[in-house]
Amino acid sequence: MNAIFDLLGSLLVHVVPFVLVLSIIVTIHELGHFLMARAFGVKIDQFSLGFGKRLWSRTDRHGVEWRVAALPLGGYVKFSGDLDASSVPDQAGLAELKSRLIAEQGPGAERDYFHFKPIWQRALIVAAGPAANFILAAVLFTVLFSVVGEQIVAPRIAQVVPGTPAAEAGFRRGDLITSINGRAVVEAAEVTQKVVLSANEPLTFGVRRGEETLSLTATPERVIEQDEIAGRVRIARIGMSLGPLVRSDFSYRPLNPLEALQRGVGQIGATLNTTLTYLGRIFTGRESGDLLSGPLGIAKAAGGATQQALAGDGGAGIKSANLALTLLQFAALVSIGIGFVNLLPIPVLDGGHLMFYAYEAVARRPVPARVQDAGFRVGLALLAGLMLFATWHDLQKLNLFAFLGGLAS
């Protein structure tokens, strides 16, 4: 019985935050498409949160059916006149749709339908989904930075582990890192990020030791760590920890809403830059992809962040506030990820539609149906492959294979 309660408790901690955050983010994404389409007078049939069996629905005065479906892991906006899954009919399909609309509703009726809007309007409608994700992230980061302010921890070395690249390079406790490969750094997080993305690549550190200025070179190596949030991961380290040792190593100042917004937008840019760098390293074989996460990994991270927030010191009020701020940051990062993925030039995603519209703008005709169909199939295969790749790493990070091996032994 205790095992059942433990399982239910674990599901509550991991699944509920994940579903809640994902539902909000997907809703905002689809609202981006919806509001931009409404602004251009596009006729819309349906707005659905979730897939599968309908749980609730209501039709508004504009004829839009708003529905909630059983599987809350996505959603969609269905424009009137959609002919196929790609939502980009070819020339023959457009001609057939236009003649049918004129026959049913009269001349000019087609102008209210998405596929007959100018290319630039269709492109804006498609791009509005990912844009809504980035706007949501900016809003969440603005709230977060408005509450917590700007906190800067200097890259001071608090500990050096013997026998590691940092020890062999000559780092000592109390050293202050001032640059990496000639680029100035002022925050400990900058050093950590650079090291994580530089496995097996020598890094030259500018170091201030008392009155001396030194140049030390260390090569990050991959180690296996059990992260409280992400699980078991292989990650690049050089064997030192950073932390404030003197009062001047930590600074704080409150931020007004404008400053918080600027910091939030900067955080989005930094996250996208890190993502692109990491993906580039995967494709060139310099990273294994351990830090990529699929649904299982995101759910695990949501649960881990929730547990960490609730495990802190303080009463219920402080823990609730800590949980709210933690989920704000988590939701902002997931929203950036969803916006980025949707902009990839894969036909089943928003980026694929934009790619088709770019062709249409140049060729002055839609992409042929056979090309769209082939692209749609290839896109599904790519997404399935990416999902399997991420899920494989999720299962490894969760030690599920070791667990199953233990059951079999």
Alpha-carbon distance 243 to 250, whole Å?
9
Task: Indicate which residue of 30, 65, 96, 225 is catalytic.
Answer: 30
User: What amino acid occupies position 376?
Assistant: F
Exposed e or buried b per residue across 323-342, where buried means at least 16 C-beta atoms within 10 angstroms of its C-beta:
beebbbebbbbbbbbbbbbb
The average confidence (pLDDT) of the chain is: 83
Q: Where are the domains of the chain?
A: 117-149+256-409, 151-253
Q: Kindly state the tokens that stand for 33.
A: 């498409």
Domain 151-253, CATH homologous superfamily name and number: PDZ domain (2.30.42.10)
Please tell me the least confidently modeled range out of 38-42, 375-379, 396-400.
396-400
3-state secondary structure of 179: strand
Q: Kindly state the tokens that stand for 259.
A: 């400053």
CA of 232: how far to CAs of 83, 191, 307, 375, 394, in Å? Answer: 45, 22, 17, 36, 9
Number of H helices, E strands in the chain: 11, 12
Per the annotation, the verdict on 190 as an active-site residue is no
Q: Express each pLDDT in 312-340 by its tens digit.
A: 666 677 777 777 788 888 889 889 999 99
What confidence score (pLDDT) does residue 171 get?
96
pTM: 0.84
**DSSP state for residue 41 in the 8-state scheme:** T
| Strand 221-227, strand 231-237: pairing | antiparallel
114-118, 206-210, 229-233, 366-370, range with greatest mean pLDDT: 206-210
